[in-house]
A and B are shown apart, each in its own frame.
Chain A
Amino acid sequence: AQKITQTQPGMFVQEKEAVTLDCTYDTSDPSYGLFWYKQPSSGEMIFLIYQGSYDQQNATEGRYSLNFQKARKSANLVISASQLGDSAMYFCAMREGRDDKIIFGKGTRLHILP
């Protein structure tokens, strides 16, 4: 079974609108971390935001916020006021407990339209 599921292979959004990128995860470990990365066409992987399983509040970093719904095992990324530069591939990822590895989803390609 997939540990990280991103059900949206591609999305088209009008500039300045808010965007929600879906991510669900599967783990039986009570301690885990959730990450979102952005990969523009240049190929670099840019870390955006982190949410810990014990964090009481949703993580926020500037225009990025993580809608963490623990019971539903959901960790959606919300981008407010989208910009053309937000066009990129977005990956959700998880690290379980004391594991050294991070597991990545297959990604969502986001296109921001002018």
Chain B
Amino acid sequence: SQTIHQWPATLVQPVGSPLSLECTVEGTSNPNLYWYRQAAGRGLQLLFYSVGIGQISSEVPQNLSASRPQDRQFILSSKKLLLSDSGFYLCAWSRGGASGRGTDTQYFGPGTRLTVL
């Protein structure tokens, strides 16, 4: 079965510090990978998604970046955090490939709660 891991679970960082959040998926190959941010009491905002190694699509211009150095690893980074970067960051995966995209469910990791002070 497939599992998705995120770490750290919680993080408190000062403004201007760098950020690195990691997400890994087990039990599948060539997944589509996604980073979302959820502000307190709000819905999900898609930040980045990737359909393969080195292929990153950005949805929202911001000071965040994403990388996919390995097939099942997705990293969210920032060089200098802003107060507005605080939130709950969720990584998700779905089955990759060209067929059946309309039916492919996204499965989420446990999330990272980031507080920028």
Interface residues of A (CB under 8 A from B): 31-33, 35, 37, 43-47, 50, 52-53, 91, 93, 95-107
Residue ID in chain B nearest A43 by CB atoms? B111
- Answer whether residue B46 sits at the interface, using C-beta atoms and an 8 A cutoff: yes
Q: Is the CB of A105 within 8 A of B43?
A: yes
Chain B hits for A50, CB < 8 A: 103, 105
Say which residue of B43, B49, B98, B107 sits within 8 Å of A101 (CB atoms). Answer: B49
A46 and B106 alpha carbons, distance in the complex (Å): 10
A47 and B59 alpha carbons, distance in the complex (Å): 23
- Since A37-B108, A43-B111 are in contact, a sample of 10 more A-B pairs with Cβ atoms closer than 8 Å, ordered by chain A residue number, is A44-B108, A45-B44, A45-B111, A47-B105, A47-B106, A91-B44, A98-B98, A99-B101, A104-B43, A104-B44
A50 and B92 alpha carbons, distance in the complex (Å): 16
Interface size on B, residues (CB 8 A): 26
A26 and B74 alpha carbons, distance in the complex (Å): 30
Chain A hits for B43, CB < 8 A: 91, 104-107
Say which residue of A33, A45, A53, A106 sits within 8 Å of B90 (CB atoms). Answer: A45
User: Which of the listed residues A52, A91, A97, A101 has the most CB atoms from chain B within 10 Å of its own CB?
Assistant: A101
Q: Is the CB of B103 within 8 A of A52?
A: yes
A98 and B113 alpha carbons, distance in the complex (Å): 31
Q: Is the CB of B111 within 8 A of A44?
A: yes
Query: What are the interface flags for B92-116 relative to A under an 8 Å C-beta threshold, 1 for contact and 0 otherwise?
Result: 1010001001111111101101000
Chain A hits for B110, CB < 8 A: 43-44
